[in-house]
């Protein structure tokens, strides 16, 4: 039987507020366990939550970025359940009246086409704490620092039909929230993670199959791997005549397998009811428009501008616009060099290779955009050839020179990399190379005219070996002239 995959994602993005959604406790990552959880976060008797307006502003910003309906009246509810990392016994969230309603984003597929994925809703809620297992012999510890951190949960329609589409959707959402500056997007710290709802149905059938939910997947690669693994598991069961159990599952990346965690709850299990301690949040058009005025240029618009205004290919533009920090670095380099294509080649080439090799983000790169821009200026005015430019770039990566733009010029001088473009000087070097290699010259002169372009290569290598830093184009011009004079 031919099966169709049905996938929906629920993405949790931590909002980048300084304090928690209902208290003044800090949201800074990395503090000692249980040092950033106050009485409100723990829900102790006698305390009342106070809503953080910055979380509201960020949620509205997100809604506008995905062209969504903004809820002018949103209501907080209590979602009741017991977990050790939720000492209140309920999570404050939104159910019937979320801050963000129906919206959409477009994702790019491998075949170059785009696909629109609709967003059902995005609601505000508080995060729970977390269980800690390391260092506790056969027991678990509880760290409540994360309890009360503001989240926006982004729920998609079940419109993705492959693991690749789901990964592309997750990447696009990551790009949008980081562009907006409402989430740092650090997957390793859990700032953004997603639950993957997966089911199969016979091709052509409208009714959905029974779905499972893979909980808390926190990397693009693992979203793809986890879904592919779950698809294969469900298909094996269905092909053998079995049925799927609706449940929540965990993904073990080391074993590349999903395994059952608990049966899947439905809304009734949580006994939702409006939070009696929080009033409905009412906003008006003026508030929404004021937030709209703060929206930055978003990735799709930036990508289109790179293509239209700067002549980049759609592939290059998509890569460079996918990450806000990378895009800003690239634009600074391109502006300094006054050459977008050269900057695109370097950022996607040597810069990206260095980031991968050093396992760091663009913000940690020791070569500033202004310094790389200066290096590219020196290529364009023939002060550096491409090899010399790479040598300067790598020296800066190794911490040589200072961190100023002027330090690039000083480094070029100290490394003796200035390119020799003086025609008179190069003529002398070429003359000596030809005199030292008479057999090579004879071979060249006996080469048919239509094959001499290749035969000139050895002379270029010998000339550059004889004088480091000579301008290859000038060398080529002089060689052609001198060899032409000989025969």
365 plus 437 within the same structural domain:
no
460 falls within a domain:
yes
Q: How many domains does one find in the chain?
A: 3
126 plus 162 within the same structural domain:
yes
195 falls within a domain:
yes
- Cβ atoms < 10 Å from Cβ of 330: 27
**In this structure, is the dihedral angle defined by the CA atoms of residues 129, 66, 169 and 303, taken in order, positive or negative?**
negative
Residue ending a domain, among 366, 384, 415, is 415
CA angle 471, 476, 481 (to 5 degrees): 130
Between strands 247-252 and 212-217, the pairing is: parallel
Residue ending a domain, among 365, 393, 415, is 415
Give the total residue count for the chain. Answer: 487
3-state secondary structure of 151: strand
State residue 313's pLDDT score. 94
Q: If 0-12 CB within 10 Å is exposed, 13-18 middle and 19+ buried, where does residue 175 land?
A: buried
343: which residues sit within 8 A by CB, 6+ positions away?
330, 333, 334, 337, 372, 373, 376
- Cβ atoms < 10 Å from Cβ of 11: 24
State residue 456's pLDDT score. 86
130 falls within a domain:
yes
229 falls within a domain:
no
Q: Over its length of 487 residues, how does the chain's per-residue pLDDT go in tens digits? A: 899 999 999 999 999 999 999 999 999 998 999 999 999 999 899 999 999 999 999 999 999 999 999 999 999 999 998 888 998 999 999 999 999 999 999 998 888 889 999 999 999 999 999 888 888 888 889 999 999 999 999 999 999 999 999 999 999 999 999 999 999 999 988 899 999 999 999 999 999 999 999 999 989 999 999 999 999 999 999 999 999 999 999 999 999 999 998 776 666 788 999 999 999 999 999 999 999 999 999 999 999 999 999 999 999 999 999 999 999 999 999 999 999 999 999 999 999 999 999 999 899 999 999 999 999 999 998 899 888 899 999 999 999 988 899 889 999 988 888 887 778 888 888 888 888 988 888 888 888 877 887 888 888 888 878 877 788 788 888 888 888 887 6
282 plus 348 within the same structural domain:
no
391 plus 442 within the same structural domain:
no
Residue 78's DSSP bridge partners are: 92, 273
- pTM (predicted TM-score): 0.84
395 falls within a domain:
yes
- Cβ atoms < 10 Å from Cβ of 291: 20
Residue 449: give its domain's CATH number: 1.10.10
CA distance 291 to 294: 5
43 plus 185 within the same structural domain:
yes
132 falls within a domain:
yes
Residue ending a domain, among 392, 415, 438, is 415
257 falls within a domain:
no
Q: If 0-12 CB within 10 Å is exposed, 13-18 middle and 19+ buried, where does residue 271 land?
A: exposed
Element (H, E) at 130: strand 130-132
HSE (side-chain half, CA atoms, 13 Å) at 282: 2
54 plus 34 within the same structural domain:
yes
DSSP 370-422: HHHHHHHHHHHTTSS-HHHHHHHHHHHHTT-S-SSHHHHHHHHHHHT-PPB--
387 plus 448 within the same structural domain:
no
233 falls within a domain:
no
21 plus 162 within the same structural domain:
yes
162 plus 26 within the same structural domain:
yes
Domain hosting residue 464, numbered range: 423-485
- Cβ atoms < 10 Å from Cβ of 369: 21
State residue 474's pLDDT score. 84
170 plus 116 within the same structural domain:
yes
430 plus 338 within the same structural domain:
no
472 plus 341 within the same structural domain:
no
């Amino acid at each position: 039987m031919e099966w169709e995959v049905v996938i929906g994602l629920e993405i949790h993005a931590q909002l980048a507020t300084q304090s928690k959604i209902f208290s003044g406790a800090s949201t800074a990552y990395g503090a000692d366990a249980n040092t950033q959880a106050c009485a409100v976060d723990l829900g102790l008797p006698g305390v009342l939550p106070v809503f953080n307006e910055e979380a509201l502003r960020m949620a509205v910003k997100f809604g506008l970025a995905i062209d969504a309906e903004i809820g002018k009246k949103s209501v907080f509810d209590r979602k009741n359940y017991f977990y050790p990392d939720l000492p209140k016994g309920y999570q404050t969230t939104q159910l019937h009246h979320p801050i963000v309603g129906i919206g959409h984003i477009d994702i790019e597929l491998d075949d170059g086409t785009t696909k629109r994925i609709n967003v059902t809703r995005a609601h505000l809620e508080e995060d729970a704490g977390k269980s800690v297992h390391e260092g506790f012999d056969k027991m678990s510890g509880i760290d409540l620092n994360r309890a009360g951190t503001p989240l926006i949960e982004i729920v998609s329609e079940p419109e993705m039909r492959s693991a690749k589409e789901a990964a592309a959707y997750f990447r696009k959402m990551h790009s949008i929230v980081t562009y907006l500056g409402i989430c740092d997007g650090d997957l390793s710290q859990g700032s953004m993670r997603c639950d993957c709802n997966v089911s199969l149905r016979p091709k052509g059938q409208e009714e959905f199959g029974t779905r499972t939910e893979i909980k808390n997947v926190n990397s693009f690669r693992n979203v793809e791997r986890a879904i592919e693994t779950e698809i294969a598991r469900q298909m094996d069961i269905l092909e053998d005549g079995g049925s799927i159990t609706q449940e929540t599952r965990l993904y073990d990346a080391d074993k590349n397998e999903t395994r059952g965690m608990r049966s899947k709850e439905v809304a009734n299990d949580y006994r939702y009811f409006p939070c009696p301690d929080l009033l409905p949040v009412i906003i008006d058009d003026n508030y929404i428009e004021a937030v709209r005025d703060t929206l930055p240029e978003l990735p799709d618009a930036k990508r289109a501008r790179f293509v239209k205004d700067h002549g980049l290919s759609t592939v290059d533009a998509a890569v460079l616009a996918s990450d806000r920090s990378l895009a800003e670095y690239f634009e600074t380099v391109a502006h300094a060099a006054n050459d977008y294509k050269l900057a695109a080649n370097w950022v996607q080439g040597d810069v990206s290779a260095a980031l991968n090799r050093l396992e760091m983000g663009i913000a940690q790169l020791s070569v500033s955009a202004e310094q790389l821009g200066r290096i590219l200026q020196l290529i364009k005015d023939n002060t550096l050839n491409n090899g010399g430019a790479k040598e300067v770039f790598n020296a800066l990566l190794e911490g040589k020179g200072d961190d100023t733009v002027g330090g690039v010029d000083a480094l070029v001088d100290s490394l003796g990399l200035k390119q020799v473009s003086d025609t008179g000087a190069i003529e002398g070097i070429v003359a000596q190379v030809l005199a030292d290699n008479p057999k090579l010259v004879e071979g060249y002169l006996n080469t048919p005219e239509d094959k001499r372009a290749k035969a000139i290569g050895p002379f270029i290598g010998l000339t550059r070996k004889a004088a480091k830093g000579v301008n290859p184009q000038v060398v080529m011009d002089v060689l052609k002239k001198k060899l032409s004079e000989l025969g």
